[in-house]
Amino acid sequence: LALAMSIFSEVPQAPPVAVFKLTADFREDSHPQKVNLGVGAYRTDDSQPWVLPVVKKVERLIVEDSSLNHEYLPILGLPEFRSAASKVALGEDSAAIKDNRVGGVQALGGTGALRIGAEFLRRWYNGVNNTATPVYVSAPTWENHNAVFADAGFKDIRPYHYWDAAKRGLDLSGFLDDLEKAPEHSIFVLHACAHNPTGTDPSQDEWKKIAEIMKRRNLFVFFDSAYQGFASGSLEKDAWAIRFFVSEGFELLVAQSFSKNFGLYNERVGNLTVVARDNENLTRILSQMEKIVRTTWSNPPSQGARIVGKTLNCPELFAEWKDNVKTMADRVLLMRDQLKAKLQALGTPGTWDHITQQIGMFSFTGLNPKQVEFMIKEKHVYLMASGRINMCGLTTKNIDYVAQSIHEAVTKVQ
């Protein structure tokens, strides 16, 4: 007897996630000089993942702590992790924390924090049904931003001007114009630092202009903070925008990821920091977020949160962690300096100042799709179709080859 048609036969094949497809293609390439600049994680100068020394130390402390067990955590997560994570974002002396109007929700990475925040906003922001409320994401942005808000039920996701390809920097006038024209109560997803994928951040004066319009026009701020400390090497500098908006009286959300700055990619350690008007509002907000978490993952995992919580709450471990983070940030900054210098020494056409003006793990090179194709097919240097590269993919061993490859792409392919 012939089998009946599958009830899933109408399910379409989803396209592969671009960065994972790129990594798969890289692995299949047998060229001896191949370079992967597409990976979304930190690598050492030997192209290896790095387990932070402080993480190894805390993992040993956890193993040896006989008081720990595997009982369920509270639905909203490990309390000492949530409070410490929010304090890292807002600052030790945050008035909002002292006013008892800041709360945290432990989440499955930064993506989980974004999703819980998006679900809450769709249900409760400015009313009870926000499917038609516009959500603005930067052009370009991390591709998951669009998907997270769409899957949370938002029907109107719009781009706001951000990257100026001609000057290879921030399109501030376009950004501010979009803020002025957006409907009141629109939601704006802002990158707290180390904008992904461009690496271009507003200056402090530019952030002030952005905040002034958002405050005047009643626009909602949802910060995505995936690289605090990792961008500049300073926790304070990388959190400046968040802290300024809070000081201006905004009620806001901050999705925090500890994947990059702790190297805990597969532990999925995230926190959603909530800054409310007062404690009464905070209590009600967290009660609804608890309901959302209950039907999403029910209860969060403990290992990664314990590692981060113990580190942030112990002054000695905290100091060691900051030193580890600076080690990663400094390597990225060094690679930026060297790549720019080598391109300039080769006489590569165009300006390359943006390589060092940008910040964080990623850089928008300015290479067009045909030049990217040349880099991959002819030079075996793998990068995203947008021209984005991960600076951590550069090493002292391959940077000359990469610079020469970029030079050839720019001079041979228009």
Residues 362 and 306 in one domain: no
Question: How many independent structural domains does the chain possess?
Answer: 2
Q: What percent of the chain has pLDDT over 90?
A: 83
Pick the catalytic residue from 171, 224, 310, 379. 224
Of 265, 289, 317, the residue at which a domain comes to its end is 317
Residues 378 and 305 in one domain: no
Residues 42 and 80 in one domain: no
At 258-305, the pLDDT tens digits run 999 999 999 999 999 999 999 999 999 999 999 999 999 999 999 999
Please give the Cα distance from 239 to 227 (Å, whole number).
Answer: 9
Of 317, 345, 368, the residue at which a domain comes to its end is 317
* Residue bearing tokens 């009141």: 184
pLDDT for 4 beyond 80:
no
Residues 311 and 339 in one domain: no
DSSP of 172-230 = HHHHHHHHHHSPTT-EEEEESSS-TTT-----HHHHHHHHHHHHHTTPEEEEEES-TTT
Of 264, 288, 317, the residue at which a domain comes to its end is 317
At 170-198, the pLDDT tens digits run 999 999 999 999 999 999 999 999 999 89
Pick the catalytic residue from 34, 50, 142, 321. 142
Per the annotation, the verdict on 224 as an active-site residue is: yes
Residues 43 and 75 in one domain: no
Residues 289 and 408 in one domain: no
Pick the catalytic residue from 34, 87, 260, 342. 260
Residues 31 and 70 in one domain: no
Residue 128 phi/psi, 5° resolution? Answer: -125, -5
pTM (two decimals): 0.93
What average pLDDT does the chain have? 94
Strands 187-191 and 220-225: parallel
Per the annotation, the verdict on 352 as an active-site residue is: no
Residue 277 lies in a domain: yes
Q: Are 102 and 86 in contact (CB under 8 A)?
A: yes
Please give the Cα distance from 371 to 387 (Å, whole number).
Answer: 9
